[in-house]
Chains A and B, each alone.
Chain A
Amino acid sequence: MSDINGVLSIAGQALITQQRAIHVTGHNIANVNTPGYSRQRLIMSPTVAFDSVVGIMGNGVSADEVERIYDRFLNAQITSETYVMGRWDAQKQSVESLEVIFNESLGSGLNQAMSEFWNAWQALSNNPSGPTERQILVTRSQVLASTFNKLDADLAQAQQDLDRSIVGTVADINELSAQLADLNQKIVSFETVTQSANDYRDKRDVVLKELAELIDINAFEDEHGAVTALIANGRPLVSGGSVWQLSTETNASGLEDVVWTDGAGNTVNINTDISGGRLKGWLETRDMVIVDLVNRLDTLAQNLMTEVNNLHQVGFDLNANAGEVFFDGSATAAGIAVNANIVADFNLVAAAMDPLTVPGDNRNAIDVANLQHQLVMSGNTATFSDYYSTLVRDVGNEVLKADSYHTHQSEMVAQLNNYRESISGVSLDEEMINLLKFQNAYAAAAKLVSASDEMIKTVIQMI
């Protein structure tokens, strides 16, 4: 009805709607720095028009819904790129800590310890009965053995550290899964009553992204608005309000494996199925990279032990007795040690070839010293020192590889985040302009009220 009250009612509706729009603008401004927040806007539409004698007349504005500006496919992409980034981030961090263990750039390390060991044998050959030369050889051999031991212990320590990170991450995943299930329930129950649980959805996206940093996540939304998250080769982690817990269990090497519990309560080891997130990076370094390095160090220590011992036992010591083993302990980097008898009595170092040629015979010492140049490693193609240089080189390559994947991937995620920001991010300039716009509309609507008021007064004064 196109009467004065009708104008007043349009004005009233307009005041309320513009005020709501200012409210939404205010919400946007307030959340300009909230991670994962998607800007919102008030959808306005003209109210139902009525048919008058002059034709269809509009009946003012109404606020329909608060819409969240958002690209759901973009978020799925961010999730999947995030777990790849999480993996390389963790792997980069962890191999960088290994690099410190093998850092030979200062010239102290296994390479030098080996050089000094061989040189000590040569020095002994220059004076086979010399007590100083013998003592230096025993000391250098102990340094060599303890350098092996230390490398192995450092690697074991790195492995333990990663193990603890893995256990902690599994707890974090369970925590985030619970949050995800909780948000699922809130969104579903909220959206059956009203239209869109905008802020809960933003929060859920943040939780999904945090999960994706930790483990490979494949997430999709069902028709009720609940998200199902699958991990490690399609195993459900969260579906609606249900959570499948992850836990850890100690394996044969004393390290923790990640296990998933199915609906019936059976546990499944998912170590090898995990394909992304920090868990993947840590598992990779702990179970592949470190294990490989330890094996190679063990091979080096074992071959060194065998070759030196074989020659040493052929020789004869200063008492004209056959040489004992030079290195004993287990044939690993962790176990190699200089025979305690030789440490206690350096006269047991067997420099001679024959019991009758003691003490001036240095031929056995020379044979041991010449092991330095013998191709005894890698199927008789490399010397001890070649073998170790290759190992150090490979550690450097691991770091370079993880670093370049990480740089590439974080650039990718940054680009996607920029893209997301360009769609969903709050621009303060934009919001300020909107604020002005709504403020002006609000002022005009108020003017409409006073105009109606004057109109009514005019009518009353007519009487």
Chain B
Amino acid sequence: MRVTNNTMIQSIVRYLTRQNEAIYDRQNIIASGKKINKPSDDPLGMGRVLSYRQSIAAIEQYQSNIKTGRTRLEVIEANLDLVDNLLQVVRSLAETEVAGTTASRQLAADDLKTIYDQVLDLANSKLNENYLFSGYQTKTAPFTRDDSLATTFDQYTVTYNGDDGEMQYIVADNSRVIMDADGRPIFHNAAAGGLNIFDEMRDLIVALENDDTVAISTQSDRLNQGRNQIKNIRSANAAIVYQLKTTENHWDNYKPKIENLLGDEEVADITQAVLELKSLEIAYESTLATAAQISQPGFLNFLK
């Protein structure tokens, strides 16, 4: 083929453009640390990158939900543990007072009135300004002592103001953990065949004040049953905590795997990019050197 000066110059321009493009690509990869810098770099890969990113964002949210759920259960557990301790105190007082004197029974009754109020306070515990034991009625105190009707202690009753609501947490795609937020099965379960802890305590106080040994003994047993009622709830909660922990472990293991996949998909092999850049630069420089050579008129040099 007949090759003219323009043929050579045009092909050099073409090669330089192409090499510049390739160098620019590598520089982008090195600067961003990513091999996918725009969708057209790898359309399928970009699709996977988006789906991994979405999974990671979702997992992080699940982890946060699980943490919130666990916090709730831990706070409930701490409260119920305290209630249990108080009831234990009540019960041992009662057991002692079965053999007690009228005077000591009076003193014990006064102590129990304080404990009664403490248990009522615990049953009205809040987390983040939300009542824990009032079902969906999180802004309403679940248990109130109806003071207006009562003239003497034996007329005190505690009313439940909440509902049978529950608290749900999303812990995985389309999967949720449900926690009962109803305070009645814990403290106020007489209607469902269980015990009303408040009434039992009141009755014990009344029995102590009335110096009624048989009643004191009965109440001591019933309060023991009350402790079991709370223990059952606590073990049910422990099962939920276990479930949350297992799910959390799952996500803790799963998230790094997705992050690895994301890394494989989009993180650039910098060493490789640098090596490629070096060899492209060599090619680029040789093209430039060639260009300098041929841009000098050939035959003209030999005239004269």
- Residues of chain A at the chain B interface (Cβ within 8 Å): 32-33, 96, 99-100, 102-105, 107, 111-112, 114-116, 118-119, 122-123, 125-130, 352, 354, 356-363, 366, 369-370, 372-373, 385-386, 388-390, 392-400, 403, 414, 417-419, 421-423, 425-429, 432-433, 436
Contacts and interface: CB of A to CB of B under 8 A. Distances in A.
A366 B163 CA distance: 20
Interface of A is mostly: helix
Contact of B38 (A99, A356, A372): A99
A422 B1 CA distance: 6
Nearest first, the 3 closest Cβ-Cβ pairs linking A and B are: A396-B39, A396-B43, A360-B138
B42 A414 contact: no
B239 interface: no
A426 B6 contact: yes
Interface string B174-199: 10100001000000000000000000
B303 interface: yes
A396 B266 CA distance: 15
Contact of A422 (B7, B34, B36, B130): B7
Given A32-B5, A107-B53, A429 B10 contact: no
B136 A429 contact: no
Given A394-B43, A396-B43, A369 B170 contact: yes
A442 B165 CA distance: 114
A448 to B, nearest CB: 25
Given A360-B165, A385-B50, A428-B299, 5 more contacts: A122-B61, A129-B130, A129-B139, A418-B1, A432-B300
Contacts of A425: 2, 4-7
24 contacts: A32-B5, A32-B6, A33-B6, A105-B37, A112-B57, A122-B64, A122-B65, A125-B65, A125-B168, A125-B170, A126-B69, A357-B135, A358-B136, A360-B138, A361-B165, A362-B168, A370-B174, A396-B39, A414-B10, A418-B11, A422-B1, A425-B5, A432-B300, A433-B299
Contact of B41 (A127, A366, A372, A396): A396
Contacts of B3: 422, 427
Contacts of B299: 428-429, 432-433
B167 A403 contact: no
Contacts of A399: 38-40
Contact of A115 (B1, B5, B57, B266): B57
A57 B65 CA distance: 112
A104 B46 contact: yes
Nearest to B303: A432
Contact of B168 (A356, A363, A385): A363
Given A360-B136, A369-B170, A414-B14, A428 B300 contact: yes
A396 B42 CA distance: 7
A103 B32 CA distance: 14
B44 interface: yes
B50 A125 contact: no
Contacts of B1: 418-419, 422
A425 B54 CA distance: 58
B40 A99 contact: yes
B23 to A, nearest CB: 17
B10 A417 contact: yes
B154 to A, nearest CB: 34
Nearest to A431: B299
Contact of B58 (A102, A372, A400, A417): A372
Contacts of A421: 4, 6-7, 10
Nearest to A356: B163
Nearest to B57: A115
A122 B69 CA distance: 12
Contacts of B14: 414
B136 A397 contact: no
B124 interface: no
Nearest to B50: A389
Nearest to B170: A122
A114 B62 CA distance: 16
Contacts of A432: 299-300, 303
A432 B58 CA distance: 75
Given A421-B7, A432-B303, A104 B39 contact: yes
B279 to A, nearest CB: 21
Contact of A111 (B5, B37, B50, B128): B50
Contacts of A358: 136
A81 to B, nearest CB: 16
Contacts of A352: 136
**Which of B2, B4, B170 neighbours the largest number of chain A CB atoms within 10 Å of its CB?**
B4
A116 B40 contact: no
A125 B169 contact: yes
B299 to A, nearest CB: 4
Contacts of B297: 428
A417 B8 CA distance: 12
Given A103-B38, A358-B136, A399-B40, A373 B174 contact: yes
Given A32-B6, A370-B170, A414-B14, A396 B40 contact: yes
B54 A115 contact: yes
A130 B127 CA distance: 11
Contacts of A403: 40
A32 B138 CA distance: 89
Contacts of A356: 136, 163
